[in-house]
Amino acid sequence: MTLLRRQPLSGRRLAVLLVLTLVGSTVTAAGVEYRLTDPALEVVPIDSSPRESFLSMRADAAGRLFVGGREAIFVYEPDAKSTSGGLGKRQEIFRFPADSWVYDLEIRGNDLYAMTNRALYLLPGAVTKRSGVQARRLVWGHPDYHPHQCFHGLAWGPDGYLYLSLGDMLVFYGDFRRPDHWGHWTFFCQPKGTKVPYTGVGGVLRCRPDGSDLQVVARGTRNSCGLVFDSRWNLFTHDNDHEG
């Protein structure tokens, strides 16, 4: 994992974060050659691991960097003495079962939200809590078929709802131009046991911070991995086409 930052200019600095997954125990951040098109940027290694995959990240106003992995959630606390982008050593906050794939993270107050490939979780107090962290499942029910076409992105909306994207689980099913490609399944949310029927492929959902009032915002996408609102509260996403 590396930090891309702009060289100091009149005492000001712009930082952009980039996570890299390094494969193989012999590959280290120091051994990777980075080529930047902007000469005002520099690369500062933060962390690397032959055993962990770094998939998602979210920074808070206090300078903490939260990173989601294949199973675990980590935090890097601000450290003025650190030579790794001003961040301290990796600390594990919570670990999900194997191959959970923490695809996105969001923050609300002192609470951390984690989107795995099959469910949305709330980790109360996890922004500052470093032991005894528990995960509460808020939304689940996405079919367990493909680890990369599942729940993906998170974004807070102007209405106070948490928006989440999901992929089309009918990966290898027939002709994508046919209307019968649509699938049917049931999502579950809070209060526990609440059922929300769904007909479609990929799409965008939203729920309240406590996981209640799950609603369908859009459907018909294949595999939207990220969500972001602009200053006018327009919601943007991207859609990956069918491979092959």
Give the whole-angstrom CA distance, residue 48 versus residue 58: 17
At 5, the amino acid letter reads: R
The arithmetic mean of pLDDT across residues 140-166, rounded, is: 89
Task: Calculate the average pLDDT of the chain.
Answer: 83
> Which CATH architecture best describes the domain 53-239?
6 Propeller (2.120)
123 touches 114 (CB < 8 A): yes
Q: pLDDT per residue over 25-79, tens digit each?
A: 333 445 567 777 888 887 788 888 888 889 999 999 999 999 999 999 999 999 9
Phi then psi for residue 179, to 5 deg, are -70, -20
Rounded (10°) CA dihedral 126, 129, 131, 132? -60
Q: What is the DSSP string of 138-164?
A: EEE---SS-TTSSEEEEEE-TTSPEEE
Give residue for tokens 């969001």.
106
State pTM to two decimals: 0.85
112 touches 121 (CB < 8 A): no
Domain spans of the chain?
53-239
Reduced to 3 states (helix: H, G, I; strand: E, B; else coil), residue 58 is strand
Give residue for tokens 């989107």.
115
